[in-house]
Amino acid sequence: MAVTTDVIPDHSIAVLDHGFVRLDAAMADDLSVVNGARVSFARRREQLDEADEGLIRFLMRDRHGTPFEHNAFRFHIRCPIFVAREWFRHRIGSFNEFSMRYAKATEDFYIPEPEDVRSQVGKPGSYSFEPVDPELAEHTREELQAVYDSAYATYTRLVEQGVARELARSVLPVGAYTEFYWTVNARALMNFVSLRAAAETRPGLIPQKTASRPGARTSGTSDSGCFGPSVDLLFEEGAQHLAGDGGLGAGAARLDHPDDSDGVVAPPAVAPGVALGLAQRS
């Protein structure tokens, strides 16, 4: 159960065993990027054209990042506390989180799937995860459940006895679920995804089973939060590009437009890429 609703919200991406990620609202479109760039030349567009799409590709290719900051995405996220703490450590965007000082904690805790119980091999900062025997995996899950049951029973007992929630919560482990809203611009979001979706990133924050682009049209989001094909590149290619993996192709082609004297140089059209996003529970 989500702490803010009786059920998991519609149009959410299910994450882990009790979590979700959903795009709650957005203020973003192609023109916000284009006009953020063209103001340098005292220009403004009212409608997007082919040259503007080329400009966006040029900005992506040459890493002119500030035009991608004139927008906002608000995500609603539910995840284990230990995941949230990693998330907040990126120190980008604005956060507001569920508080166990003011509301009672829910009885939801993270239990990994058997295949997600792993051993750590190597030195701190340079290690890998290896699978464990099925018997150990199941034993680990049982041990976690026992600790969670005991901790939540203690928490409930303390609250019922009149202990302040802000003190009683201290018995709860970091496997407890929390919930927060995160508002971030496209540039910061691309950076976040490029780091968390990198091949060398340890599993945990963004499990890489299947992915769904956060910019997809979402019911309940205003029209201003739906994106055209150019802004879609932010999520299909942007994170990979900002991470230094290329993805926009080599060489450039000049896009001539009758009322565009900026002489924008843009790379060729981008081939379809793998959609990046926050992982879906299979």
Which residues form the catalytic set? 196
Distance CA 244, CA 9 (A): 35
If phi over 0 gives left and psi between -120 and 50 gives alpha, with beta otherwise, what is residue 83? alpha
The amino acid that residue 37 corresponds to is A
Pairing of strands 118-123, 126-131: antiparallel
Distance CA 257, CA 188 (A): 31
Question: Based on C-alpha coordinates, what's the Rg of the chain?
Answer: 22
Strands of 13-15's sheet in order across:
13-15, 19-27, 72-80, 177-184, 94-97
